[in-house]
Amino acid sequence: MNKEQLHRYISDSTGNESNICQIYAIKGGETVYDDCWHGFTTGDAMNVNSVTKGVMALLAGIALDKGCIKSVDQKVMEFFPDYSVKRGEKTIYEVTIRHLLTMTAPYKGKSEPWTKVCTSEDWTLAALDFLGGRKGITGEFRYATLGIQILAGIIERASGEKCIDFANKNLFEPLGLPKRILHGDSSKEDQFDFFMNKNPRKYEWYSDPQNTVTAGWGLCMSAREMAVVGELVLNNGMYNGNRIISAEYIHDMLRPYLKLGERFGYMNYGYLWYKPFDDREVYAAIGDSGNIIYVNKELNVSVGITGTFKPRIFDRVDFIEQKVLPVIDG
């Protein structure tokens, strides 16, 4: 399959590839693939859903490198001394940043309280109400998008600036990427449109009424930008000869801490990044609808893919390895 055939394959797809908007690949620092569908151009952005979490992991590393955060083992509640803990709640005091990054933080209830959090005036504080519980810290993996919202609050309190400003100054600008702007609306109707709208978006980031960005979803990026972020990870925190994140943190972020179950394809999990294979140097930040940053250290390749909303599409790793990489290498 060549580039023209891959373009036609996606254009004609009625299955899992039918929602792909952009694919962009970088190998050895050079662009080796750039293609778009559904009226998108290379410069357009899309809500990359949970790929946002992978970017938040990088921001946590930058905050750690700068000394804003002392350690990933620092207790979450150290950053919220003014938060009123519910009577009888004890577990919350033991939760660390590492628990958030590895999705092993404990939460109350069986499901995430989306309505409660996303209709509140402060999504971070509302997410803190969800943290803890009677079971204590078990080390079990619990995928919680709302729990990651706490990480945005930590970065703001630790750095003394809004998370979006911290990200622009310390990540996007050093990578030569446009600044993100706040989306600016958090009504129920707008949230629905943000997920479902299939048109290109601005370089924006969804936010709550406090102008704190959503840490688990809502960052809008192009596939090219995701590939650039992938190149940063590929090069152990360096980009264009400049150190953006310490190599030590990148190593810790990618190191597998947990082996996930069937729902997540038995992949390994680091700090909000996946390691799909036990024996290969392949890593990914993965979001719903097939949005992905794919990093292959063995082949020195990073790939970004964006996709419009399409339910039940999660993992594009196999698609990249079976369809995209052969075109790049060919």
Triad 275, 251, 313: Cα angle to 5°: 25
| Position 43, amino acid | G
Residue 51 pLDDT > 70, yes or no? Answer: yes
Please compute the mean of the pLDDT values over residues 51-77 and round it to a whole number.
Answer: 98
Q: Which residues pair with 293 in a beta bridge?
A: 285, 304
Mean pLDDT, all residues of the chain: 95
Q: Is residue 79 part of a domain?
A: no
Q: Is residue 54 part of a domain?
A: yes
Task: Measure the CA–CA gap between 163 and 303, rounded to whole angstroms.
Answer: 26
Residue 123 near residue 218, CB atoms below 8 Å: no
Please compute the mean of the pLDDT values over residues 80-103 and round it to a whole number.
Answer: 96
Q: Give the residue numbers spanning the domain of 226.
A: 3-66+155-329
Q: Is residue 323 part of a domain?
A: yes
pLDDT, residue 330, reads 66
Distances (CA, A) of 3 to 231, 324, 330: 22, 9, 9
Please compute the mean of the pLDDT values over residues 21-41 and round it to a whole number.
Answer: 97
Task: Measure the CA–CA gap between 153 and 159, rounded to whole angstroms.
Answer: 10
- Both tokens assigned to 269: 């999990």
- Both tokens assigned to 127: 């997410």
Structural domains of the chain, count: 1
List b or e across 195-232, with b for residues whose CB sees 16 or more CB atoms inside 10 angstroms: beeeebbebbbbbbebebbbbbbbbbbbbbbbbbbbbb
Of 11, 23, 3, which is closest to residue 328 (Cα–Cα)?
3
Percent of the chain with pLDDT over 90: 90
| Position 74, amino acid | Q
Residue 191 pLDDT > 90, yes or no? Answer: no
CATH, residue 222: 3.40.710.10
Band of the pLDDT at 189, cuts 50, 70, 90? confident
Enumerate residues 6+ apart whose C-beta is below 8 A from 271: 57, 60, 61, 72, 101, 102, 252, 253, 254, 257
| Position 226, amino acid | M
pLDDT, residue 313, reads 81
Q: Is residue 98 part of a domain?
A: no
323-327 CB contacts, 8 Å cutoff, 24+ apart: 323/1, 323/6, 323/9, 324/6, 324/23, 324/25, 324/33, 325/296, 325/299, 325/301, 326/1, 327/1, 327/2, 327/3, 327/6, 327/33
Band of the pLDDT at 73, cuts 50, 70, 90? very high
Residues of the chain by 3-state class (helix, strand, coil), percent to 5:
35, 20, 45
Question: What values do phi and psi take at 148, rounded to 5?
Answer: -65, -20
DSSP string, 202-219: -SEE-B-TTSPBPSSS-B
More confident position, 312 or 156: 156
pLDDT, residue 49, reads 95
Q: Is residue 100 part of a domain?
A: no
Please compute the mean of the pLDDT values over residues 305-315 and round it to a whole number.
Answer: 88
Q: Is residue 146 part of a domain?
A: no
Q: Is residue 109 part of a domain?
A: no
Q: Is residue 225 part of a domain?
A: yes
Band of the pLDDT at 311, cuts 50, 70, 90? confident
Enumerate residues 6+ apart whose C-beta is below 8 A from 193: none
- Both tokens assigned to 325: 């990489």
